[in-house]
Chains A and B, each alone.
Chain A
Amino acid sequence: MSVKKFITGSFYEEAKLFPAVKKVRRSGYKIHDIFTPFPIHGLDKAMGLRDTSLHIAGFIYGITGTTTALGFITWALTVDWQLDFGGKPFFSLPAWIPITFELTVLFSAIGMVLTFCYLCQIAPFVKKDHFNLRSTDDTFVMALECTETTNEAEVISFLESLGAVDVGVQYKETGWWLGRYDKESKRIEQNVETAHS
């Protein structure tokens, strides 16, 4: 495993963070990640992350639940073991709606949470690195990835000019626990449309 170099800076104000993200990306630096104590709406757009398709996964799981329930009940009560309730039809769909609905919700919820954990690579006993412990308290921590050609001093002074504090260099072993979104980031255009510019 190789060691990577990061330059991290802390922000305390959303008002400073958003312009900083924009300028950093315009200048061509690569934002490894921004760690925040709570979701900041629009930050994903500003960073150029694409939308998540987690909800589509949820829909597919839900449909799976629906077909599982309907298919199984239909088979059990009309094919495998027909039960005669006062001469009512074996295929009594209205009575099966509650269980079908419940299984739809159950499959969708469990599937989505597992997918969420898988995509974020989080699970019990997993330890991950987030550069600054205060990023779960009140600090927005921006981590820039350095390459061999990166001029350290220049980046540090650049970040400081954008309002970052505690700017410093950190070395991390690369690995899945750092998280990588290279494939997801879109190239920055001249006029980026962001929700909050």
Chain B
Amino acid sequence: MALLRYESQVRPPLVSGDKDYHQVTEDICRPVEAKPSRLWWIGFIISVALLLFGIFSVAMEVTYGVGQWNLNKTVGWGWDITNFVWWVGIGHAGTLISAILLLFRQGWRTGVNRAAEAMTIFAVMCAGQFPIWHMGRVWDAFFVLPYPNTRGPLWVNFNSPLLWDVFAISTYFTVSLLFWYSGLIPDIATLRDRAKKKWRKMFYGVASFGWTGSTKHWQRHEALALVLAGLATPLVLSVHTIVSFDFATSVIPGWHTTIFPPYFVAGAIFSGFAMVQTLLLVTRKVLKLEDYITIEHIDVMNKVIVLTGSIVGIAYLTELFMAWYSAVQYENFAFFQSRANLDSPYGWAYYIMMSCNVLFPQIFWIKKMRRNLAVTFFLSILVNIGMWFERFVIIVLSIYRDYLPSAWSTYYTPTIWEVGFYLGTFGLFFTCYFLFSKFFPVIAIAEIKHILKQSGENYKANMGELETESLDVFEEQHGHDHGA
């Protein structure tokens, strides 16, 4: 009974360094228990400042109306919906890592899932702001809910993709939050039991729900995690599918495309992983967690990026082909006049999208590049820029030149308040992330301990001898006694 599961020697260890269970606790709790660094304060203050500017921008919009934004006759969805789709997309990687990779039994997810899930939740919080404030009369936002009212009761339109979106995003947020927090409870209990100061004992005591680590509780916890993962997996896919329905069920050339659901989901995973890379490359460095978020993790996430980036690329090409093959003049106009045309007012946006999303990530076919931190960081930023432009291209470039040429002179540029709103969501996102990384463990402690004896460097090294043993000896030492 030395091993609970045998893992191949070919696989590189997921936890490097000479670690035992206690060392894992120490390493991951250290940044939480230490005083915040100067770097943390600088980052936090900048984030809060951005958040305040965002609040001010939104206040301007609420006070004076949506006219504060430069939306015009044809461009009814501009930066706000672009940013909405962008943030929702980013919010896909966390649940993908924690749910789908849990079902696929991918051990490497344990190093990155907690931070990625947190990122998901914060990104969805940011995304939700845009449709809400875009309503203009935000005090009537509750109209989107089906509640008995005095207008009939007139129910919401259950056939509308925009309403599906309301349900999809709010369900996704709730389920992600439950999944994340239920996983966090045992780790908070670890912090609670290590706490020395009174406020820490109280804070983590309340937040840990009185977790004890009882075997029965763990059994239920495992069952809960597995079923939530099973639920979250189709949920992740459904959310961006439904977001794509916002466009795909319309009759706008450039929007009503049947490949939108898979294309959007691939794009969401693509941009989500890019954001995970950006954040984790900084987090592992600042919090000194290189032993847990290793180069192997970076490598494997870059593989996902090159895969999903290429799927997105195929989707772009398919769109162009279908526009040409359909021989519909409106489709042709949307794709070959408005988008893939450098002479058109927004042609540059299309080519930024193409190069950042399809061309540049191809560098990750080379192993050396996948394992290069500087290249990865730079590429992850480029991908996020590219994916923002993808949404901008889809939304604005399909509608800024309407069917009548008289409606063409409408070059849409955002006002300072639209930009401010966007910056404000960055503030919200990073404020939350800074607080999370200060008060909660950014790595799932219990899950790392769970894989430590299979994938820890020091344990793996001692496992080599097994391969030279004869089968009989191995069976004798490690086999199961299934009872007579």
Contacts and interface: CB of A to CB of B under 8 A. Distances in A.
Interface of A: 14-15, 18-19, 33-44, 47, 49, 51-52, 54-55, 58, 62, 72-73, 76-77, 80-81, 83, 85, 92, 95-96, 98-99, 101-103, 105-106, 108-110, 112-113, 116-117, 119-130, 133-138, 177, 179, 181, 184, 191-197
Given A116-B182, A120-B217, A179-B216, A95 B158 contact: yes
B450 interface: yes
B235 A35 contact: no
Contacts of B481: 194, 197
15 contacts: A33-B214, A35-B215, A37-B186, A38-B446, A38-B447, A43-B218, A81-B154, A102-B171, A121-B210, A126-B209, A136-B193, A138-B25, A179-B214, A192-B483, A196-B1
A18 B216 CA distance: 16
Interface in B174-222: 174-175, 178-179, 182, 185-186, 189-190, 192-194, 205-207, 209-222
B220 to A, nearest CB: 5
A14 B453 contact: yes
Given A92-B159, A193-B483, A197-B1, A39 B178 contact: no
B231 interface: yes
B446 A112 contact: no
B377 interface: no
A36 B215 contact: yes
B483 A44 contact: no
B210 A123 contact: yes
A151 to B, nearest CB: 26
B210 A18 contact: no
Give the residue among A36, A62, A103 with the most B Cβ atoms within 10 A.
A36
A20 B405 CA distance: 83
A120 B190 contact: no
User: Range of interface residues on chain B?
Assistant: 35 or more
A165 to B, nearest CB: 14
Contacts of A18: 1
Interface stretch (B160-168, B278-286, B384-392, B396-404): B160-168
Contacts of A121: 210
Contacts of A128: 210-212
A145 B410 CA distance: 79
A194 B216 CA distance: 16
A38 B212 contact: no
Nearest to A72: B146
Nearest to A108: B231
Contact of B215 (A43, A77, A96, A134): A43
Nearest to B480: A197
Contacts of A108: 227, 231
Give the one of B167, B214, B219 with max A CB within 10 A: B214
The residue in B20, B210, B215 that gathers the most chain A C-beta atoms within 10 A of its C-beta is B215
Contacts of A72: 146
Contacts of B21: 37, 137-138
Contacts of B175: 105-106, 109
A116 B220 contact: yes
B450 A39 contact: yes
Q: Sort A-B residue pairs by CB-CB distance and give the 10 closest, nearest first.
A: A126-B210, A138-B21, A130-B212, A191-B483, A197-B481, A38-B446, A98-B164, A122-B209, A39-B218, A138-B22
Contacts of A103: 167, 171
A54 B446 contact: no
Given A52-B220, A127-B205, A58 B227 contact: yes
Interface string B460-484: 0000000000000000000011111
B242 A98 contact: yes
Contact of B222 (A39, A120, A184): A39
Nearest to B450: A38
A110 B231 CA distance: 11
Most buried by A among B20, B159, B453: B159
B227 A98 contact: no
Contacts of A33: 212, 214-216
A60 B106 CA distance: 29
A54 B219 CA distance: 10
Contacts of A81: 152-155
B190 A122 contact: no
B10 interface: no
Given A58-B227, A101-B238, A112-B227, A137 B153 contact: no
Contacts of B228: 109, 112-113
B55 to A, nearest CB: 29
Nearest to B23: A138
B224 A112 contact: yes
B157 interface: yes
Contacts of A41: 4
B327 interface: no
Nearest to B152: A81
A137 B190 contact: yes
Given A37-B190, A138-B21, A193 B158 contact: no
A114 to B, nearest CB: 10
Q: Which of A36, A38, A103 has the most CB of B within 10 A?
A: A38
Contact of B193 (A134, A191, A192, A197): A134
A83 B157 contact: yes
Nearest to B449: A38
B234 to A, nearest CB: 7
Contacts of B189: 136
A151 B15 CA distance: 44
A19 B1 CA distance: 9
Contacts of A80: 153, 155
Interface in B239-280: 242, 245
